[in-house]
Homo-oligomer: A and B are copies of this chain.
Amino acid sequence: MAALERKQEKKMITKQEALEQFFQAWTPSPLIEEVSLKDAAGRVLAQDLYSRVTLPMYRVSAMDGIAVKSKAFEDGDPDTSSWKPGVDYERADTGDDFPDCYDAIIMIEKVKLMEDGSVKLELPLPFPVKPGTMTRPAGSMIREGDLLLKQGSWIRPTDLAALAVGNYPAVPVVKKPVVALIPTGSELIPPGERVKRGDNIDTNSAMVSAQLEAMGAETIVFPIVRDEKEKLKEALDQALKQADLVIINGGSSKGGEDFNVHLLKEQGRVICHQVAAVPGRPVSLALIQDKPVINVPGPTLAAYFVTDWCLGALVSRWLGSVRKERRKITGVLAAPMDKGGPVQILHRLNVVEREDGTAEIYPIPMRQSSTAALLSSDAQYVTGLFEPAHQAGEMLEVELVE
């Protein structure tokens, strides 16, 4: 086994190397589309956008209050008992423009508006009333030509407000890549059917599809394809017509029915096969008709992990954006973690938050645990190649799974 493993390892490249090799061979061809602001959250901006306006166009009130003539305050607080609205003052709330004969604002809390239109001020005023007091200058929200948001940014809710301030009702975003997902396996049945001996439920279509959508892709899920080469070829042809990237899920390893990699070789170019990352080592990255076709292994956690590192990188590359990071948490390792070997390993973990705010991290044993327990874990950690072992009691920073 040791000899065999060594032989295999020689061929194996890291995730990073696999992606670098693939990116040398593949050039994404994203399109741009215009979407209204209400549909732009979570999309990737396709070009730098600059403000089309200066706002406010003219100085405005900085508070709810009354606009007054500062000249009247030059020699101390004036007698306001005969003031008239529209002559000596005018109401102006936060952000309001007001006539040019006024040049200062007194906050409403210091003002009593009398029935006869006159005014009582609560003296002393907190600020001397001078030209510009309690006003905001033109351009205090935005100036024409100011950068609003950079190309490649994920558009956040607050960015929508910034784009609105710049007077954009719609913005150019990168069109989502369409990923076709072809689940394969004669033993697979969709969830919800009566399960017979030998059946395996398709756990991956819903999961991988949701992973891809969270990455910013659109998905088309094909019906389950049985392990027959002709059927798979038909589905692949169809997928290549409809999608920008294709996932063939299952049939990726060395089993007798695992002819998928052969099909990829026949139809296009396999850039790499076998990556030093477990679970999911037998992944193949191919190009067919200049489109990525990824053979993602079938076991649920393998499909999860390969979709995460491999498709995640491909979709980001397509979108021209930096991938959103996971939340991290640092906690005390409650059990030791083996030293890393020649492959990187995905460890699934549970996190228990203590009352004092610290966290305990429990590795979930891969072999002894049910698939369901591994799937529902709180957190994960991927060991580096030949990373030293971690002892119980050690502090470790891990990724939260969301």
A interface residues with partner B (beta carbon < 8 Å): 1, 4, 37-38, 40-42, 51, 53, 55-58, 64, 91, 93-97, 108-110, 122, 126, 139-143, 146, 148-149, 154, 156-170, 187, 190-193, 195-211, 213-214, 221, 253-258, 298-300, 304, 324-328, 370-372, 375-377, 401-402
Contacts and interface: CB of A to CB of B under 8 A. Distances in A.
8 contacts: A41-B213, A55-B195, A57-B197, A91-B255, A94-B298, A95-B299, A97-B197, A140-B370
B206 A37 contact: yes
A163 B372 CA distance: 8
A91 B94 CA distance: 77
A401 B41 CA distance: 13
Nearest to A149: B376
A402 B324 contact: yes
Contacts of A57: 195-199
Q: How many copies does the complex hold?
A: 2
Which of A97, A168, A191, A213 has the most chain B CB atoms closer than 10 A to its own CB?
A191
Contacts of A199: 57
> What are the 10 tightest A-B residue pairs by CB atom distance, in nearest-first order?
A169-B192, A93-B255, A1-B126, A41-B210, A97-B198, A37-B206, A157-B210, A64-B255, A161-B207, A161-B203
Give the dominant DSSP class at A's interface: loop
A201 B255 contact: no
A53 B203 CA distance: 13
Given A370-B139, A371-B141, A158 B206 contact: no
A126 B3 CA distance: 10
Nearest to A402: B156
Which of A142, A156, A202, A207 has the most chain B CB atoms closer than 10 A to its own CB?
A207
A160 B207 contact: yes
Given A165-B201, A167-B195, A257-B93, A371 B142 contact: yes
Contacts of A298: 94-95
Given A141-B370, A160-B206, 8 more contacts: A4-B109, A37-B206, A40-B206, A157-B304, A164-B203, A165-B203, A165-B375, A325-B327
B203 A109 contact: no
Contacts of A42: 210
B109 A376 contact: no
B197 A58 contact: yes
